[in-house]
Chains A and B, each alone.
Chain A
Amino acid sequence: MNEGNPGLEMVPSTRVDQKSGSVIASFRSEIDLHNSPDLRTVLLDLLAKHDPKRLVLNLSQVPYMDSSAIAVLVEALQKIRKSGGRIFLTDLQPRVKGLLEIARLDSIFVVAKNEAEALAKQ
């Protein structure tokens, strides 16, 4: 029986909000050192493919992440900032929110209550 975290699943897939030029992606899984490389692959692919000004990550189905996942988010943030973009994190679950606060990243990423709020933010 595999009791580890499964590979990262995107839910249901990436979509582009034409009006705001945003790329929106949702994930489903706990994320730790086992599957954070999957997150890295997905995010870097998204950035390379769309070069968005706004990347919205819906984390409503990510109940847990560790520092390896945080490191991936930071790497993606560094990359998108180079082209003037921003990353929005939405629907944070308590454990994820707590870790972001400890890492003092809640003020570096744009945290929104949900996708609609993220898309409405200037």
Chain B
Amino acid sequence: MTVESDPANIARVRREVEDLAAAVGLDAQGVAETGLCVNEAMANVIRHAYQGAKDRPIVVRAHCQDGCLVVTIRDWGNGVNPAKLPPRPFDPTQPGGLGLICLGRMMSQVDYVPQGDGMLLVMKKQIPQARRGGSVSGARP
């Protein structure tokens, strides 16, 4: 789906991805973690890649591949790769940095793929073998 970079759109996209995550077999915790990571990734795009602009495009797609739920988030922002920013020690009493920590801990794999005109974030969440339903597949436009 394509949405504008308005924070008001985050919840709708998160819920759509959570619905899909549940449908493909992730358990409640996996669904919640995937939803939070989509939220945090979109918020990073809005705040950093688009520097708060509310009218820029964000394309979110999700599909199953090799036993994983794959969620991609494409932006046309400043192209900064958050994974390459200098690491700073996480201090719970200071705001910031928590979103990336969530991605690193909650997703099975996270890759930032530079696009020349922006960034493509690819997040994968392993679906437990016993829960793979296979009833839902393919990309959601």
B10 A34 Cβ-Cβ under 8 A = yes
Q: In chain A, residues 1-33, which have Cβ atoms closer than 8 Å to a Cβ of chain B?
A: 2-5, 30, 32-33
Knowing A2-B8, A98-B32, the reply to whether A70 touches B15 (Cβ < 8 A) is no
A60 beta carbon closer than 8 Å to chain B: no
Roughly how many angstroms separate A78 CA and B95 CA in the complex, as a whole number? 10
B75 beta carbon closer than 8 Å to chain A: no
A5 B32 Cβ-Cβ under 8 A = no
Roughly how many angstroms separate A32 CA and B38 CA in the complex, as a whole number? 12
Q: Which of B15, B39, B92 contacts A66 (CB 8 A)?
A: B39
B98 A32 Cβ-Cβ under 8 A = no
Binds A, one of B40-48, B111-119, B133-141: B40-48
A102 B105 Cβ-Cβ under 8 A = yes
B40 A66 Cβ-Cβ under 8 A = yes
Q: Which of B10, B40, B43, B101 contacts A4 (CB 8 A)?
A: B10
Count how many chain A residues have C-beta atoms less than 8 Å from C-beta atoms of the other chain.
26
State which size class the interface on B falls in: 20 to 34
B131 beta carbon closer than 8 Å to chain A: no
B7 A33 Cβ-Cβ under 8 A = yes
B93 beta carbon closer than 8 Å to chain A: yes
A108 beta carbon closer than 8 Å to chain B: yes
B123 beta carbon closer than 8 Å to chain A: no
A95: chain B residues within 8 A (beta carbon): 32, 36
A46: chain B residues within 8 A (beta carbon): none
Q: In chain A, residues 101-116, which have Cβ atoms closer than 8 Å to a Cβ of chain B?
A: 102-105, 108
Residue of B at shortest CB range from A70?
A: B98
B47 A3 Cβ-Cβ under 8 A = no
Roughly how many angstroms separate A75 CA and B93 CA in the complex, as a whole number? 8
Q: Which of A34, A67, A68, A71 contacts B102 (CB 8 A)?
A: A67
B109 beta carbon closer than 8 Å to chain A: no
B residues near A, CB below 8 A?
A: 6-12, 14-15, 32, 36, 39-40, 43, 46-47, 90, 92-96, 98-99, 101-102, 105
A residues near B, CB below 8 A?
A: 2-5, 30, 32-34, 66-68, 70-72, 74-75, 77-78, 95, 98-99, 102-105, 108
Given contacts A4-B9, A34-B7, A66-B10, 9 further A-B contacts (CB under 8 A): A66-B36, A67-B98, A71-B98, A78-B93, A99-B36, A102-B98, A102-B101, A102-B102, A103-B98
